[in-house]
């Protein structure tokens, strides 16, 4: 039977009411269903805010972003940017930068705080790495090329600028004037911005490189005996392959996410550190990269161009000829081994992640 136009309209209205009562949104309205309260207004970079209820600080403006830390009620933060109506990019008192919800049940922006700073735009004068944190140990997001336009957001210290690129990426670059020329109020030349004032709460000290390395090693030791699985999941810690293990312990200890496989990790070290090709040049905490096993004798590796050899294993050097790694089911999973002649023959290069 064909329904009349009125009957069809009534049926649709009833269905819509049922869906609304159940809290179900159509796919196209997913963003609207999760939108912040209507009272939220766009915040200017430089304004301060107070956390009203515990909320996650995420690495990206998405609920899929990695949780950097939890902000607690009463914490004061500084607004860095507002990429859209759902997220603020903020800087916490300890210097952590990430994204949090704009919903006013979580955050209250102080409208009388620092206003919008004078816009400072700049031009990249020489190729420079854009990093996730203001440190040479920070992950490289990408290489900024000569001629790219950027906007200055903050200067956390005398060595680093926080900037936003034309594609919306936010990160840190060296403040050396050999890399960037800033223009302000129509002028040109190098501009040194006023460093971002700290929030009026006690500072949280950041451990030095050696303490961070020890934290990573300690995290690794906590996984001794964890079973080996080739191609292990990067989302749980019940099993590891070699690169998954190395990646996890840096995430656990210093919240640094290395690439997912050993060859990419090797490329990362080459791009971000000074590599050594002799085991005698290794330091505690350095990563070590190895080629395929071809035998126990040195003669099995003669004539191989190690600069072109394929990486098949990664481990961490502990010093005193010991390595922390995992490489097979039969070996017993995560373990500390002596750097035997077999491993030394396979060694390609090593380098620091944290300096």
- Maximum Cα–Cα distance for the chain, whole Å? 88
Q: What is the pLDDT of residue 171?
A: 80
Checking if the pLDDT of 223 tops 60, the result is yes
Checking if the pLDDT of 27 tops 60, the result is no
Rounded CA separation 97/193 (Å): 19
Q: What is the pLDDT of residue 14?
A: 38
Q: What is the pLDDT of residue 321?
A: 92
pTM score, whole prediction: 0.46
Give the residue ranges of DSSP H helices in the chain. 5-22, 30-33, 209-221, 242-254, 262-272, 341-346
Q: What is the pLDDT of residue 283?
A: 94
- What is the percent of the chain with per-residue pLDDT over 70, rounded to a whole number? 76
Q: What is the pLDDT of residue 11?
A: 44
Rounded CA separation 138/95 (Å): 14
Instruction: Find where tokens 């759902």 sit.
Output: 86
Checking if the pLDDT of 172 tops 50, the result is yes
**Between 345 and 38, residue with greater pLDDT:** 345
Checking if the pLDDT of 310 tops 90, the result is yes
Checking if the pLDDT of 19 tops 50, the result is no
pLDDT band at 203 (very low <50, low <70, confident <90, very high): very low
Q: Phi and psi at residue 20, in whole multiples of 5°? A: -65, -40
Nearest-10 crossing angle of helices 242-254, 209-221: 130
Tell me: the pLDDT tens digits for 56-115?
Answer: 888 877 777 788 888 888 888 888 777 777 888 888 877 778 888 888 888 888 754 433
Q: What is the pLDDT of residue 333?
A: 94
User: Which span out of 32-46, 206-220, 338-352 was modeled with the highest average pLDDT?
Assistant: 338-352
pLDDT band at 317 (very low <50, low <70, confident <90, very high): very high
Tell me: the pLDDT tens digits for 132-170?
Answer: 777 777 788 888 888 888 888 777 677 778 788 887 777
Structure tokens at 87: 């997220």
Q: What is the pLDDT of residue 38?
A: 34
DSSP symbol at 36: -
pLDDT band at 309 (very low <50, low <70, confident <90, very high): very high
Q: Cβ distance 275 to 355 under 8 Å? A: no
DSSP symbol at 215: H
Instruction: Find where tokens 């269903």 sit.
Output: 33
Rounded CA separation 36/16 (Å): 23
Helix then strand count (H, E) for the chain reads 6, 19
Q: Cβ distance 193 to 155 under 8 Å? A: yes
Q: Once rounded to an integer, what is the mean pLDDT over residues 285-290?
A: 97
User: Which span out of 28-42, 179-193, 294-308 was modeled with the highest average pLDDT?
Assistant: 294-308
Q: Alpha-carbon dihedral of residues 334, 335, 337, 343, nearest 10 degrees?
A: -10
Q: How far is CA 257 from CA 111, 182, 251, 311, in A?
A: 35, 31, 5, 19
Checking if the pLDDT of 313 tops 60, the result is yes
Picking from 6-10, 60-64, 171-175, which range would have the lowest pLDDT averaged per residue? 6-10
Q: What is the pLDDT of residue 5?
A: 42
Structure tokens at 50: 């107070």
Q: What is the pLDDT of residue 337?
A: 93
DSSP 280-320: GG--TT-EEEE-----SSGGGGTT--TTTPPP-EEEEEEET
Q: How far is CA 113 from CA 28, 49, 86, 91, 222, in A?
A: 37, 9, 21, 15, 45
Rounded CA separation 263/267 (Å): 6
User: Which span out of 192-196, 233-237, 308-312 was modeled with the highest average pLDDT?
Assistant: 308-312
Q: With 0-12 CB in 10 A as exposed, 13-18 as middle and 19+ as buried, what is 35?
A: middle
Q: Cβ distance 66 to 99 under 8 Å? A: no
What's the residue count for the chain? Answer: 355
Checking if the pLDDT of 335 tops 60, the result is yes
Q: What is the pLDDT of residue 206?
A: 38
Average pLDDT, the chain: 77
């Amino acid at each position: 039977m064909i329904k009349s136009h009125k009957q069809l309209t009534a049926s649709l209205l009833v269905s819509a009411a049922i869906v609304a009562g159940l809290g179900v949104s159509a796919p196209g309205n997913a963003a609207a269903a999760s939108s912040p309260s209507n009272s939220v207004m766009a915040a200017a970079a430089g304004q301060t805010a107070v956390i009203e209820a515990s909320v996650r600080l995420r690495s990206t403006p998405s609920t899929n972003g990695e949780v950097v830390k939890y902000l607690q009620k009463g914490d004061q933060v500084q607004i860095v940017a507002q990429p859209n109506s759902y997220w603020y990019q903020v800087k916490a008192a300890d210097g952590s930068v990430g994204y949090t919800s704009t919903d006013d049940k979580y955050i209250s922006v102080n409208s009388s705080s620092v206003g919008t700073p004078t816009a400072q735009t700049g031009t990249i004068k020489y190729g420079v790495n854009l990093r996730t944190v203001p440190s040479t140990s920070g992950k490289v997001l990408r290489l900024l090329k000569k001629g790219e336009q950027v906007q200055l957001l903050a200067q956390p210290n005398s060595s680093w600028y926080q900037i936003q690129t034309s594609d919306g990426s936010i990160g840190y670059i060296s403040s050396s004037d050999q890399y960037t020329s800033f223009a302000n109020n129509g002028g040109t030349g190098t501009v040194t911005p006023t460093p971002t004032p700290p929030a009026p709460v006690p500072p949280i000290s950041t451990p030095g490189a050696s303490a961070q390395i020890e934290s990573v090693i300690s995290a690794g030791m906590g996984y001794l005996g964890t079973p080996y699985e080739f191609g292990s999941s990067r989302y749980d810690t019940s099993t590891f392959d070699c690169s998954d293990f190395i990646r996890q312990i840096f995430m656990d200890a210093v919240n640094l996410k290395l690439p997912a496989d050993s060859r990419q990790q090797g490329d990362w070290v080459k791009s971000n550190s000074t590599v050594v090709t002799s085991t005698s040049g290794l330091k505690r905490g350095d990563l070590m990269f190895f080629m395929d096993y071809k035998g126990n004798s040195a003669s099995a590796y003669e004539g191989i161009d190690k600069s072109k050899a394929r990486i098949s294993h990664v481990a961490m050097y502990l010093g005193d000829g010991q390595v922390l790694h995992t490489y097979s089911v039969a070996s017993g999973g995560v373990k500390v081994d002596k750097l035997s002649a077999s491993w030394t023959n396979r060694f390609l290069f090593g380098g620091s992640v944290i300096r």
